[in-house]
Structure 1
Amino acid sequence: MARILIAEDEPSVRAFITRALEGVGHEVEAAADGSEALAALGRARAGGRPHELLLTDILMPVMDGISLALAAARDAPNMPILLMTGYSDQRERAHGLEAIISDILLKPFTLDELVERVEAALAQGPR
């Protein structure tokens, strides 16, 4: 299964996503904001175990998901990126990023929807 990095500032949502993806066999690393996630991406690449998917919330403190997605696309151009948001205005901010993101997952989502969208992004393979 895949090595996935999650960036989500809400602890309960982060824990739900982590449990759900680990439950279907993925290896998950979780970060509380975009800055922490960007550092994790760098450590993973330097250590020779890069992530195979980034799943990030759009609205987060320190560094938001849009900034994280842009930096991740620059540093790991083949890694699929899946955005998530619970706010329609935040979804509009992702307009124009189709070249670097696989999809946008709208909150609230079910466990089945989460797994389905993650699997679809992984199946698309490298951008």
Structure 2
Amino acid sequence: MARILVAEDEPSVRSFITRALQGAGHEVGSVGDGSEALEALAQARQAGRPHDLLLTDILMPVMDGVSLALLAARDAPSLRIMLMTGYSDQRERAHGLDAIIHDILLKPFTLDELVTRIQAVLEGA
């Protein structure tokens, strides 16, 4: 079981992902934007219960997923980070971030694909 934080501004997508990952046995928290995610990550670290993985949408209000990933990796270098997007052109924004981004998941995705890809990232594949 891993501690996962989901940052997704679409409530229905955030709920789907959260339920799917909880069903796979993970402890999952979720927030609606990058700023909230950065705060949740910091609070968890300060409480001695850091997250193992951050799954974040690229396009979000307040702070986007790429900015979030850069700040999260700076603050917690061992955190595994996955991006997701519904826009293939947004993948280009993550170009050059291979050192901190472990995978990019294109929407729409299936429940099986989500769980499989999360597990691969957690296992370091």
Normalised by the length of structure 1, the TM-score is 0.97
Give the % identical residues.
77
One-letter amino acid matched to 1:71: L
Deviant stretches of 4+, over 3 Å: none
SS at structure 1 position matched to 2:51:
coil
SS of match in other structure, 2:123: helix
C-alpha distance in 2 between matches for 1:48 and 1:34: 21
SS in 2 for 1:74: helix
Counterpart of 1:71 in structure 2 is 71
Match of 2:35 in 1: 35
Amino acid at match of 1:91: R
Matches of 2:78 and 2:47 in 1, distance apart? 17
**SS of 1:108 mapped into structure 2:** coil
Distance 1:96 1:24 in 2: 31
Post-superposition Cα deviations, 1:82-101, rounded to whole Å, max 9, x if no partner, equal 00001012111111111101
Q: How many aligned residue pairs are there?
A: 125
How high is the TM-score relative to the length of structure 2?
0.98
SS of the residue 2:62 aligns to? coil
Paired residue type of 1:88:
S
Q: Distance in 1 between matches of 2:52 and 2:100?
A: 14
| SS class of match (1:5) | strand
- Paired residues for 1:1-127 under 5 Å: 1-124=1-124
1:29 deviates by: 0.4
* Residues in 2 aligned to 1:62 and 1:124: alpha-carbon distance in whole angstroms: 30
* CA–CA distance in structure 1, aligned partners of residues 121 and 63 of structure 2: 23
Cα shift readout 1:56-92 (whole Å, capped 9, x = no counterpart): 0000000000000000100010111000001012111
Structure 1 unaligned regions, length at least 5: none
For structure 2, which runs of at least 5 residues remain unmatched after alignment? Answer: none
